Amino acid sequence: MICSTMRISAVVVLMLLGWPGLTISAPAQSPWQQEQLLQEPIFNGHFFLREAGSEHQDILLLVHGLGDGASDIWEPFVAELAESFHVIAPDLPGFGRSSKANQLYSPANYAEFAHWLLDRHPGKPVYLVGHSLGGAISLHVAARHSGRLERLILVDAVGTLHRLAVSQNLVRDLINLDLPFFSTTVESTLGRIAGLVLEKTARVPLDPDLLLVNAAAREKFLAGDPARIAALALVQSDFSLLLPRITTPTWLIWGDQDQIAPLRIATILDWNLTDSRLRLLYGLDHIPMNEDPQRFMGALQQALLDNKPDSAPLATPVEPVDAVCDQQRGRVFSGNFATLQIDNCSDVLIHDAQVAQLITSDSQVTIERSLLGNDAQGIAVQTLRSTLTLTGVDIKGRIGMQMDQSRIDLAGGRFLETPLAVMAVGNPSSILFSSSIKRLNGQLISLQLSRGLGQGESF
């Protein structure tokens, strides 16, 4: 989206001359009642704020994603939303018509900005909608300031995946460093930007976290550019200990064809949030409000007006059975298993399953929305020369995973009362954990890491 200077150039000049804030009435054809340039204390700059429906008690805060189109993305829906809500839509600092400085544009700092903005309306119920990067920001707001929120709505939210998982999923064709950062559709290049920054910073002996907190380093390696800073800060963020703290009723609105925020992220959130509902928009990608405005608005209105997410029906208990996959491809397993043994199989999918003991060898297995292990003295998963990709799983046992010459990519996993999450035996193995935790004796331990494990290593 291309930034429009609209009607504020003279106002910007006045702000730079020291005006603390200036309000302008929106033109008659605009759905906005009011547009303002205000000073804010988090990034120490000015930001552009739009409002409509100010006569209503309930606040609807709309947080946009990456790109200088900023709050423009909400404009087609404002008139209808303002019939029921006091709609507030800022251009986030660093984007659109707001100040663009060399600041740390992290989800955590943006959450403090949102909290400061909401404090201008104390005591009013708040409905929070975040798209893409705005979804990551909204997760931080909900985890840290849940007392203010009536409802959380995440639209194709990015975040929650480890930076290496981001690179694998979103940056399969990294562009050369001498090419421009932005393509014609800025929003769709989030993964490309993040991966490009990661590749560039990997060439220097510098911790990305140290780069982010140092203004001189941000200028040298990121050109002080808000989009680059925000992208790197996003993929450096650890959401593992945030998700358990979110109790706000949450709706997830997701394009099922989204390659920027893949459905894996939606699964992580739906599994880990205590009160959530996932609504898929079939055939749509990362920006559903542009791709099918009518269908998006229908999903948004349902999320705003429904009293609470649908409860999943209680499954009828089924006696566990033993099952085997032997030299097969594309097998699918769901249900209740005492032992599930997978030998020399590829493209195996385990979903919505309870597996007391999973044993794999020479196989490639994907596991989603499942419970692994139930014996506090046993080993939940034993894997030999295999690749396992797990999303939204709970694991319980004396040892969660015993690995030998295997690779495990776990996202949104919870090790429950499991003293050893992972133990390596035999030949070296590797793990990549995103937004995962170990819950032991009332303590929560973040598992956001990538590492190799040799014989006898465990954690």
Question: Residue 217 belongs to what H/E stretch?
Answer: helix 215-222
Confidence band, pLDDT 50/70/90 cuts, at residue 376: confident
Residue 215 is predicted with a pLDDT of 94
Q: Do 92 and 162 meet the contact criterion of CB atoms below 8 Å apart?
A: no
Confidence band, pLDDT 50/70/90 cuts, at residue 165: confident
Range picked from 47-61, 139-153, 202-216 for highest mean pLDDT: 47-61
Topology annotation, domain 9-161+237-305: Rossmann fold (3.40.50)
Confidence band, pLDDT 50/70/90 cuts, at residue 51: very high
Is the pLDDT score of 347 beyond 50? Answer: yes
Is the pLDDT score of 127 beyond 60? Answer: yes
Which CATH number does the domain 321-453 belong to among 3.90.1150.10, 2.160.20.10, 1.20.1290.10, 2.60.120.1440? 2.160.20.10
From the CB of residue 18, how many other CB atoms can be counted at a distance below 10 Å? 6
Mean pLDDT of 282-304: 97
Residue 312 is predicted with a pLDDT of 56
Mean pLDDT of 126-155: 95
Range picked from 27-36, 141-150, 220-229, 395-404 for highest mean pLDDT: 395-404
Mean pLDDT of 232-251: 95
pTM of the model: 0.85
Question: DSSP string of 154-167?
Answer: EES----S-HHHHH
Confidence band, pLDDT 50/70/90 cuts, at residue 90: very high
- Give the chain's mean pLDDT: 86
Pick from 367, 173, 372: which is nearest to 264 by CA? 367
Residue 318 is predicted with a pLDDT of 79
Residue 169 is predicted with a pLDDT of 52
269-274's contacts with Cβ under 8 Å and 24+ in sequence apart are 269/154, 269/157, 269/160, 269/243, 269/412, 270/392, 271/369, 271/391, 271/392, 271/393, 271/412, 272/243, 272/244, 272/392, 272/412, 272/414, 272/435, 273/243, 273/246, 274/246, 274/247
Is the pLDDT score of 8 beyond 60? Answer: no
| Lowest mean pLDDT segment, chosen from 94-103, 183-192, 341-350 | 183-192
Mean pLDDT of 194-213: 62
Mean pLDDT of 312-318: 62
Is the pLDDT score of 398 beyond 80? Answer: yes
Write down the domain spans for the chain: 9-161+237-305, 321-453
Beta bridge partners of 47: 38
- The secondary structure of residue 178, as a DSSP letter, is T
Residue 18 is predicted with a pLDDT of 32
Residue 310 is predicted with a pLDDT of 54
